[in-house]
Structure 1
Amino acid sequence: MRRSEFLRAVDDEFGAQSSTLVHDLVLSGIGRTALEALDAGVPPRDIWLALCADTDVPADRRYGVGRLEPRQA
């Protein structure tokens, strides 16, 4: 997962709350906010999974999100 995919996944899952979650929620599994973790070089996928765990996102919505559909030829 890339940073852009992480941010897209957060926007898709949390909508208007996404900015607040990324900036203010200290993730229990990481010990810092998502934005701080991204800036510190923590892999976006690890941050996404920690965010999902802390906010009770169902498992079926945790994997493969944030990706754009492949381009059509």
Structure 2
Amino acid sequence: MRLTEFWERMNHHLGPAYARTWAETQVVQELGGRTVVEALADGEAAKVVWRAVWAHLNLPPSER
């Protein structure tokens, strides 16, 4: 997954105004207690981060 697709999915599910703020502030246990922005900065693949977000938000299987 490309980073652009990741952010498109984040914007779709959280809204473009809130997605970035959520990614900067919400600690996701599935990412080792990091935020989305921290995990991406640490070099985690966008696909891995998306799967963690998907699980954290309890999104439907079709969105995985």
Q: TM over 0.5, yes or no?
A: yes
1:11 is matched with 11
Identity over aligned pairs, percent? 32
The correspondence for 1:45, drawn from 44, 47, 56, is: 47
| Aligned structure 1 segments of 4 or more residues deviating by more than 3 angstroms | none
Distance in 1, Cα, partners of 2:22 & 2:57 = 9
TM alignment of 1:17-56, pairs within 5 A: 17-30=18-31, 31-56=33-58
- The structure having more radius of gyration, on CA atoms, is 1
Unaligned runs of 5+ in 2: none
- Report the count of equivalent residues: 62
Give, in angstroms, the shift of residue 17 of structure 1. 2.7
Unaligned runs of 5+ residues in structure 1 are 63-73
Q: Residue 29 of structure 2 aligns to a residue in which SS?
A: coil
Structure with greater helix percent: 2
Determine which structure has greater relative contact order: mean sequence separation of CA pairs < 8 Å that are 6+ residues apart, divided by chain length: 1
Q: Deviations 1:12-37 (Å, cap 9, x if unpaired)?
A: 11114312221111111112000011
